[in-house]
Chain A
Amino acid sequence: MSRLLEVENLRVYFNTYAGQVKAVRGVSFGVEKGETLAMVGESGCGKSVTAKALMRLFERTSGEILPESKITFDGVDVMSLDKKALHAFRGTQIGMIFQDPMTSLDPTMSVGKQVGECLMIHEGIPMKEAVQRAVELLRMVEIPNPEERVKAYPHQLSGGMRQRIVIATALACHPKLLIADEPTTALDVTIQAQVLDLLRDLKERLGTAIILVTHDLGIVADFADRIQVMYAGMIVEEGTKQEIFKECDHPYTWALLRSIPAEGASKKQLYSLKGTPPDLLLDQKGCPFASRCEYCMPVCREYQPDFTQKSGTHRVACWLQHEKAPRVERPVGAGGEIR
């Protein structure tokens, strides 16, 4: 079966005064229809940039997707779309939810119109009708009293409500893939749970595939089908939820799992990974994680490791997988269990 999304060798560079920031350095992955893929990694590892690249959202920034990158969505070569086709593609094929619902809605436009805009552009219906349809969409994202709320302005709604509006907007034209870029980071914990429940519910009802970008492994645990761990603009490990949480093989994934606070262990100090990620301005020689890795070997600093295919779905880029490497015991911390 052909995949819904196929990304090959995606590279995104930003031209800045300081030089070229190589934010995403050759990322390849795919998403099946109806599946939820989580992209996990710390701040600045390129996960949001990867997500934005899928819709080529860099037109007015200094960002540039390098020509050797290949993005195929449902048989369509995204990189070769012209302006008009790209506009038609966005919103209808892929929808996007942004991090901060406080800033991702236009403060001067009623939310009904903002949701309706999508329908207006892509289905060519007048605004009035689009707002009518927006009522249904608001009902779908479980906003109480949607007939009244369509007329509200963003500042009259709470953060959770606004994020629901953003979700409704993203889903207005029934995209096949929904990119959720840290959808709950800016929300408080109880609202986070509500929004996640809603997303899960919508996914089941609509059959939309989801790419969930997050740094919160807690969310990933009960949400994603597959997980892809990113570090310094590259994928270091990829596998099913089970494989990442129970059988992961990359030292960075280990560190991520160990730093999840475990239940009942609140008095113990949390594990923290020493050091900082490499400067993305510089060219990377060897494994990007080498400088922070406690298992670092001489080869790690010289050559980039290739992916080792552990199973049909599980792959990992680490020299420890090499047959000549020393065997290392997987250190599973208290928080490393699937909760």
Chain B
Amino acid sequence: MKKYVLKRILYMLFVLLVVTTITYFLMHCIPGDPLTALVQKLPEQTKANYYAKYGLDKPVWEQFLLFLKGIFTEGTLGESIRYPGRQVLDVLKKYSVSSGQIGVTAVAIGFLLGIMLGVVSALKRNKLPDKLISLIAILGVSIPVFVVASVLQFVFTVKIPILPTMGWGSPKHMVLPILCMSLSPLATYTRYMRSSVLDVVNQDYITMAEAKGMSFGMIVRRHILRNSILPSLTILGPNVADVFCGSFIIESIFSIPGLGGYYITAVTDRDFPMIIGSTMFYTGIYILALLIVDILYVVIDPRIRLSETK
């Protein structure tokens, strides 16, 4: 197990390097660079000075090597070009907190509630609770998040003014964004869980547990949950990674200082250090989440082996 995790972490570093490299070269392929808009009307010499200042006059591969050198020698991801003085690492640290707070809470709520609703839905199959839950699930998947957000804003800030419309700073500010963001995961987990519970409930070992004299609630807790949670767990990994990097839409609707906005503006600004920094951050969390999910698999289902060796 330890050996496997160590090996996986090495692989992860390798993946991170590959993704970084590819992204680095890809972003240099996009027409334009961070300075294009800035230097348009400046004389040639000033332009050249600017480019030289940020090292953008050098060949791409040399820039890449310098970037890597920066990481390994100084532990820095560089400085934003569009907003001089902003260290990429600081931006990530600062804004991932709010994104993470909202996102992780939203996914946690979505996951737990989704699992519960999925189980109820499956056990009450084709009865009223199942139909209601299925309706919620379908709505959750199909209504765009900005519609939900607007409706929630209208209801809870205009009609019943108990929550702030937008902004950041107090727990009250977090309620609506979290509600919006948890809806889609909630719906997804509900649907996954419903179908896998339906599958498990018909297994012989459930009948056997009944024949042992276990109450049904106990069977759900001891046998059904564990056997049906794997599919939901599979999508939990990527989901967690997603929310850490923030949702551009939610953040802009509720004016939350999160990473999502920075990620998007970095791309439109061609702010190279910001782009590569956010990409590395996203990739890192993504592969870390996958590792954790893989380990959880083994904890939950003993038939799954981590390493290829016996």
Question: Closest chain A residue to B200 by CB distance?
Answer: A106
Q: Does A55 lie within 8 Å of B208, measured CB to CB?
A: no
Contact A153 B214 (CB under 8 A): no
Tell me, in angstroms, the Cα distance from A59 to B227 when the chains sit together: 21
B212 within 8 Å of A (CB atoms): yes
Identify the stretch in A33-41, A97-105, A203-211 within 8 Å (CB) of chain B at 4 or more residues.
A97-105
- Identify the A interface with B (CB < 8 A): 55, 57, 59-60, 83, 87-92, 95-96, 98-100, 103-110, 117-118, 121-122, 153, 155, 166, 169-170, 173
With A88-B213, A122-B213: A108-B301 Cβ-Cβ less than 8 Å: yes
Task: State which residues 176-214 of B face A: CB under 8 Å.
Answer: 201, 203-205, 207-214
Measured in the bound complex, the distance between the Cα atoms of B213 and A170 in whole Å is 10
Main secondary structure on A side of the interface with B:
loop
Q: Is the CB of A87 within 8 A of B208?
A: no
B215 at the interface (CB under 8 A from A): yes
Most B Cβ at <10 Å: residue of A96, A108, A169: A108
Bound together, the chains give a CA A103 to CA B218 distance in angstroms of 19
Contact A103 B204 (CB under 8 A): yes
A155 contacts B212, C-beta separation under 8 Å: no
Interfacial chain B residues near A59, Cβ < 8 Å: 210, 216
Alpha-carbon distance A305/B45, docked complex (angstroms): 112
Contacts of A121 in B (CB 8 A): 212-214, 218
The interface size of chain B toward A, counting residues with CB under 8 Å, comes to: 24
Given known contacts A98-B204, A98-B208, A117-B222, A107 and B213 CB-to-CB distance under 8 angstroms:
no
In the complex, what distance in Å separates the CA atom of A12 from the CA atom of B216? 22
A88 and B218 CA atoms in complex are apart in Å by 13
A7 and B187 CA atoms in complex are apart in Å by 48
Nearest-CB residue, chain A, relative to B205:
A106
Q: Is the Cβ of B214 less than 8 Å from the Cβ of A117?
A: yes
Q: Does the CB pair A96–B211 fall under 8 Å?
A: yes
A110 to B303, CA, bound (A): 11
The docked-state distance in angstroms from the alpha carbon of A105 to that of B303 is: 13
A96 touches B213 (CB 8 A): no
Q: Is B302 an interface residue (CB 8 A)?
A: yes
Q: In the bound complex, what is the Cα–Cα distance between A194 and B209 (angstroms)? A: 25
Our count of residue pairs bridging A and B at CB distance below 8 angstroms stands at 82
Which residue of B209, B210, B215, B218 is within 8 Å of A106 (Cβ)?
B209
Contact (Cβ within 8 A) B208 A166: yes
| Given A88-B213, A92-B213, residue A107 in contact with residue B208 (CB < 8 A) | no
**Does the CB pair A95–B205 fall under 8 Å?**
no
A-B contact pairs, 22 of them (CB 8 A): A59-B210, A60-B123, A87-B214, A89-B213, A90-B212, A91-B213, A95-B211, A98-B204, A98-B207, A98-B208, A98-B211, A103-B203, A103-B204, A106-B227, A108-B302, A109-B223, A117-B222, A121-B213, A121-B218, A122-B213, A153-B303, A169-B212
12 extra interface residue pairs, beta carbon distance < 8 Å, beyond A59-B210, A96-B211: A55-B211, A59-B216, A60-B123, A87-B214, A98-B211, A106-B223, A106-B227, A108-B300, A110-B302, A169-B212, A170-B211, A173-B213
A-B CB proximity, top 5 nearest: A91-B213, A90-B213, A103-B204, A96-B211, A104-B204
Chain B 222-240 per-residue mask, 1 if CB under 8 angstroms from chain A, else 0 = 1100110000000000000
Chain B nearest CB, measured from A17 CB (Å): 11
Which of chain B's residues have a CB closer than 8 A to the CB of A169?
A: 208, 212
CB pair A90 B226 closer than 8 Å: no
A107: which B residues are within 8 A, CB to CB? 205, 227, 301-303
Q: In the complex, what's the smallest C-beta–C-beta distance from B160 to chain A, in angstroms?
A: 41
Q: Which of B205, B212, B215, B303 contacts A103 (CB 8 A)?
A: B205
In the assembled complex, how far is the CB of residue A178 from the closest CB belonging to chain B, in whole angstroms?
11
Interface string of B142-160 (1 = CB under 8 A from A): 0000000000000000000
Q: Which of A60, A91, A96, A155 has the most CB of B within 10 A?
A: A60
The residues of A that contact B223 with a CB separation of less than 8 Å are 106, 108-109
Cβ B207 vs Cβ A57 within 8 A:
yes
The interface residues of chain B lying within 8 Å CB-to-CB of A57 are 207, 210-211
Q: What's the Cα separation between A96 and B210 when bound, in Å?
A: 10
Question: How far apart are B288's CB and chain A's nearest CB, in angstroms?
Answer: 25
Q: Smallest Cβ distance from B298 to chain A, in angstroms?
A: 11
Per-residue A-contact encoding for B272-310, CB less than 8 Å = 1, 0 else = 000000000000000000000000000011110000000
Closest to B223 in A: A106
In the complex with contacts A108-B227, A108-B301, A87-B211 CB distance below 8 A: no
